[in-house]
Structure 1
Amino acid sequence: KAIEGLWENEEPSLINPLINLLGQDSSEKVQAAAATALGKFVMLAEHKKLRSCHVSKVCQALLTAIGDKSKPLEVKRRALEAAAPINFPDVERAITEAYQSHNSKLRVSSIYAMGKSYNPSWLPILLKELSSTNAEIRYEAAGACGELGEEEAAPHLIELVSDLDIELQLAAIRALGKIGGTEAKNCLEECLDDPNEVIQQAAEQALHELELGEKPLSF
């Protein structure tokens, strides 16, 4: 809980203590929470709000955790998800290795990480996984398509809006709101008439997000 409470804290002085917890704490939960908290600094780095010396330190700690065979699966997953936005070849390699793993949970995290990498080169994999037999992978693939924001994904997501799995429907609707474009907008407007109120509300929220993204910035 204490680590989770540090999520809003952006002080670089927390980096070393978090790295120590990730590497040495006896609790799996504490290690996993430390990895997630380090993800906050990864996001700061992506927005150029963290010095490069801190970035490399955080990245190395997360990659070490990912590659450590003795680390619990949950810790590896959180470390991979946290490292995803870092534009380093080693991170891309770690995502690929996790995707090629025989462990379905690790593969789920790799799909999530592909979205958080904001690298459109992952899109072909994500589009393929939208039809996976694993519901969790399909769900994460839909979300990751939304994160990448590539309009090429829109027709594939539109198909999922009529899926029997309500969670997958909602993930597809949220993703369409992030992607935008005419096809996405038309689909979301049709969802406003869906008999399911949950679908209606999700579509309304997605349209709101879509419209915010379309508005020109005023200075």
Structure 2
Amino acid sequence: MAKKEISFNEALAFLREGAKPDPKWLRGFNDLDKPSLAAFQSAWMSLSADPRAKAAQALHALMQEDIEMHFGAAFRPMLSDANPRVRLTAISGLMEDEGQDLVEPLIHLMRNDPEESVRAAAAGALGRFAILAETDRLTPARKRMIYEAVLKVFRTEEESSPVYRNALESLAYTSNDVIAMYIRAAYASDDEALRTSAIVAMGRSQDRQFSEFVREELQNVSPKMRLEAARAIGELEDADAMPELSKLIDDTDMQVREAALESLAVIGGEPARSLLQAAVLSEDEELVTLAEHAIETYDFWHGEIDFSLTDIDEDVLKPRRVWQRKATAKGEE
């Protein structure tokens, strides 16, 4: 017998009663329309802080488990919730939402929220809108808005703060001489967390001037730094780093190994494919699984896909190629 689906009104009743969050009735809040959202907000505000936080976290968890669940409409008003735990969960819950109207509230949270964790999360969330801006899918006004807001963060936040670090990583997608200066300054810092963020930013900038620094960090004693360097070198598509990446396939840290394999897949070329195929023959089952996935990535990036025969937008799926084409075009002007 098929399970009976909980209606919106039934879910609303559970929420008003302060019932323990349960996926069975939380599903009733999927894809809320405007009238339903108004009723949801009314019930939501009748709850005290802790139940709101637990319900928000449960919605987020359910959305991660079930791709058919869309709670964006519910999460948006939570960005202004009085409970910082709710605001933090809402930012995370909206991470896949590319609605341009999120730019202003995220900037507001990044600049004004009393909780550092919320400001940092908002700064990190702005990164996807920086990507949209670089692929001409964000209005020029909002692109400028993000740029100016993050530059202000650089002037007002301590360099050691997670807000500063996340802002640096986010704005790195908008590569220019000013951002490059901030990235270099961060890399020269004595703060290891900030230096790690600088490596992340170098990769996201896709600016080859940083390749030498990133290659050097592939041998860092810190697993975290090696991990971010392995990811960044792939974003830079630096084939000269192939020898260092090949060594990381046998790294003691499994995340580093995975990042090295994935970067080899993105960089491409016969040497990279040979390394991936060799890893598939390993006696280490976990490494074999990672290598097989990396080969799939290789085939996606470097295989022959006729996008004209599909409904898929190549520029959306392969943004790196878009940025590179733009950079090349600018260099030829």
> Structure 1 length normalisation: TM-score?
0.93
Shift of 1:57: 1.1
- 19, 33, 47: which one aligns with 2:121: 33
Matched length: 219
Matches within 5 A, 1:37-186: 37-70=125-158, 73-186=161-274
**Residue 300 (structure 2) pairs with residue 212 (structure 1):** yes
**Identity across matched positions, percent:** 34
Give yes or no for contact 1:65–1:71 (8 Å, CA) kept in 2: no
Q: What is the RMSD of the two structures over their aligned residues, measured on CA atoms?
A: 1.6
Distance change >3 Å, CA 199–CA 216, structure 1 → 2: same
Please state whether the residue corresponding to 2:95 is helix, strand or coil: helix
Amino acid corresponding to residue 131 of structure 1 in structure 2: Q
Higher relative contact order (CA 8 A, sep 6+): 1
C-alpha distance in 2, partners of 1:202/1:164? Answer: 15
Shift of 1:71: 7.2
C-alpha distance in 2, partners of 1:60/1:6? Answer: 23
Question: Which segment drifts farther, 18-27 or 125-134?
Answer: 125-134
Shift of 1:210: 0.5
Q: Deviations over 1:26-76 (max 9, x none)?
A: 011110111122112101001110122211110111122133244761111
Amino acid corresponding to residue 80 of structure 1 in structure 2: L
C-alpha distance in 2, partners of 1:212/1:24? Answer: 42
Amino acid corresponding to residue 225 of structure 2 in structure 1: I
Q: Deviations over 1:60-99 (max 9, x none)?
A: 1112213324476111111111111102222111111110
C-alpha distance in 2, partners of 1:139/1:71? Answer: 22
Please state whether the residue corresponding to 2:163 is helix, strand or coil: helix
C-alpha distance in 1, partners of 2:153/2:238? Answer: 31
Amino acid corresponding to residue 168 of structure 1 in structure 2: V
Match of 2:84 in 1: none
Match of 1:190 in 2: 278
Match of 2:12 in 1: none
Please state whether the residue corresponding to 2:94 is helix, strand or coil: helix
Give yes or no for contact 1:155–1:183 (8 Å, CA) kept in 2: no
Question: Which segment drifts farther, 152-161 or 185-194?
Answer: 152-161
Shift of 1:13: 2.3
- 100, 110, 113: which one aligns with 1:12: 100
Higher CA-based Rg: 2
5+ residue gaps, structure 2: 1-88, 309-333
Distance change >3 Å, CA 167–CA 63, structure 1 → 2: same
Distance change >3 Å, CA 207–CA 61, structure 1 → 2: same
